[in-house]
Amino acid sequence: MNNEQQELLSEAYENYCTTLIGSITFSDRGKHFKSDGLEFNSGYPNYVHYSQDEFINKCKTNPEFSEKWGLKIEERELSLDERTKYKMKRDNIARMFAAYTHQILDNSNIPRRLITVTYNDKTIESYEYKNKI
């Protein structure tokens, strides 16, 4: 992820923490249960306090949680066709003269994955490249 996306993630996590802490009474501050605040114990809700990495992973894997906190993170593999079009556009190639493979595109430093982060109606896309050895 790029710096702009990291900033959006940090902003969303800060909102999560502020909202969570603001909703916990003083006597409940020591209680941290991973229950999404849906279970109740003696009339006091059990709260979740995820680390930033846990929060981000939860937003990636749980659509309800993601929607609740207004943070949408999508990661997907680019198809061979999408990668080929990316290379053609980047290199200003009008017509393809050879069939590209993922390995050729990796060697040409063409991204493998698209990462899209949306928070507060702001969307930022970035690309992930194959790890170089």
Domain membership flag for residue 104: yes
**Which secondary-structure segment (H or E) carries 72?**
strand 71-77
Give the pLDDT confidence score for residue 63 in this predicted structure.
94
Range of the domain at 54: 3-128
Whether the CB-CB separation of 32 and 16 falls below 8 Å is answered with no
CA distance 56 to 7: 13
By CB neighbour count within 10 A (0-12 exposed, 13-18 middle, 19+ buried), where does 100 fall?
A: middle
CA distance 75 to 113: 7
Give the pLDDT confidence score for residue 48 in this predicted structure.
63
Per-residue pLDDT of the chain (133 residues; tens, 9 = 90+): 889 999 999 999 999 988 877 665 444 444 444 444 444 444 445 566 789 999 999 999 999 999 999 999 999 999 999 999 999 999 999 988 778 999 999 999 999 999 999 999 999 999 999 865 4
Domain membership flag for residue 133: no
Give the pLDDT confidence score for residue 97 in this predicted structure.
78
Give the pLDDT confidence score for residue 45 in this predicted structure.
55
pTM of the predicted structure, to 2 decimals: 0.74
Structure-token match 């279970």, residue found: 39
For residue 73, the one-letter residue type is: I
Give the pLDDT confidence score for residue 47 in this predicted structure.
61
Total structural domains within the chain? 1
Structure-token match 């060697």, residue found: 107
Domain membership flag for residue 13: yes
DSSP SS3 for 34: coil
CA distance 91 to 110: 11
